[in-house]
Each structure stands twice: as C-alpha cells, then as structure tokens.
Amino acid sequence: MNILDKIVADKRVEVDLRKSLIPVNQLEQSVLFERQTISLATQLRNSQTGIIAEHKRRSPSKSVINQSLNVFDVAKGYEDAGVCGMSVLTDGKYFGGSLDDLLTARASCNLPLLRKEFIIDEYQLLEAKAYGADVILLIAAILTRDEIKQFSEFAKSLSLDVLLEVHNEEELHKSIMPSLDMLGVNNRNLKTFDVSLETSKSLSTLIPNDFVKVSESGISNIEAIKELQSYGYQGFLIGENFMKTDNASESAKQFIKELSK
C-alpha cells in the first residue's frame, strides 16, 4: 500500500466521523457560506507572476517543515508580498493542518484560498465553502472520471473554482472536462516522492488552453518559473520553499520582486 492509498483510507474514516458530528445543514448555515468567492483562475490569468503560496507545517516526505509560523501572519504576509492565491493544507494526520487554518487565513486576508485536501466526498466541498475557501483541489490519482465530474460540477454549483491535479498522461486524459478551471501538474511522483519539472513540460502540450495551467511541487527558483512560463504555465504552487524559512512572507516577497524584474 503506497502512502497515497494509506492517506485515502484514513480520510474515508475521518470524513465519516466529521459527517456524524457536523450535519450538512449546519455547514450551510455558516456565515461564510454566503460570501462571494474570488476566482483564482481569473487572478492567475491576469498575473505576471502567478504565485500560489502555501501554508504547510509538515509532509510525509519531509516530516517537519515549519511548526512555528502562525497562519494568520503567513496569510497576511503572503497577501502583502503580492501572491495570487494561497493554498492551505487542511489534512491533520499527515500534514499537520486543519479546517481552522482555513478559517484563520480567511479572517486575515482577501486572497483566493485553496483548500488543499484529499477530497473523496461532496461533504468536503461543503466544508470548504463553509470555512471560507474559494478553490478546491481534486487529485486525479485518487478519483474516477465519474467522481471528478460529480465533484467538479458540485463545486461549480457552490461557486468554487476547481484545480485538478494530474501526475501523468493517463490521469490527464481521464480528467479533462468543462467543469474544471485549472489543470495542475504535480512534478512530484506520489509513489516515490521524486520531483522532476520534466513532468510539467511533457504534459503542457496536452492541456487545452481553455484551462489555466498550474505547475506544482519542486519549484524553488526563478529560472524554473521562467522556463515553465514558456510552456504556457500561468500558476506556480510553491509550498516548502517559503515555509522552510523563518519568514515565509518575506521570502515570498523577495521571490516575487526578483521574478517581476
């Protein structure tokens, strides 16, 4: 059983538990459920830099990245730095995140927020909406084509943007559908955790231009972004690079300044 299968198995148990604790109508009554969402896809299309910065405490591949930075300051700092959007990890067991992190980020900034999560149930989309997210992530590796269709259409009915993540050509082919806004290519092999930007390059020509192309993982320098921009990428998800420093927002600010030259 690889790490992804393990995470998904645990996630099913977790979601069943959450459903039994907080009924759907309670989520729908949340004050944030009615807020006007902000489109990350639109922000990326209109940006020269396209940085989506992440708040991430730890990961299965790196264990602890940064436990000391609080979400409120990081979100505010990222917004001041000029990022296009912010990704908030909400998985507790493997990444040390929570839905409260999403709530806190929402309270401190006006950026489009991506709920970074292993989504396997519509209930998690209602949670995302209730806790202030603007965008949800769907991972092709753990979903069937029917599930991708069901979840992405449901997300659109909630006015949430959809970022679909793929790792290879096969996942890409099963996933392309009109209810997606952005197609993300994860440069990290989830089975081995090896990272290669070649994944983004080789898949770039197969992604129709109707979708905003996003490259994820292993992006740590300006050169990589400039190179990927020439392949049509408009969004760049950067997690560990900023979070592993003492001041995530300051490193994001310097990075964007450098990139804008």
Catalytic residues: 54, 56, 116, 165, 186, 216-217
Packing angle, helices 248-260 and 71-81, rounded to 10: 10
Our CA angle for 26, 150, 210, nearest 5°, is: 115
Residue 241's Cα: distance from chain center in Å? 15
Residues 200 and 233 sit within 8 Å (Cβ to Cβ): yes
Record the tokens describing residue 59, joined without a space.
């990961």
List of long-range contacts for 62-71, beta carbons under 8 Å, 24+ apart: 62/240, 65/239, 65/240, 65/243, 65/244, 66/243, 66/244, 66/245, 66/248, 67/96, 69/243, 69/248, 70/104, 71/101, 71/104, 71/105, 71/108
Q: Which residue has the tokens 């790792």?
A: 167
User: Can you tell me the distance from the alpha carbon of 58 to that of 215, in angstroms, rounded to the nearest whole number?
Assistant: 20
Q: How far is the C-alpha of 100 from the C-alpha of 256, rounded, in Å?
A: 28
Q: How far apart are CA 131 and CA 103, in angstroms?
A: 5
- Spatial CB neighbours of 201, under 8 Å, sequence gap ≥ 6: 228, 231
Residue 27 and residue 148: Cα distance in Å, rounded?
22
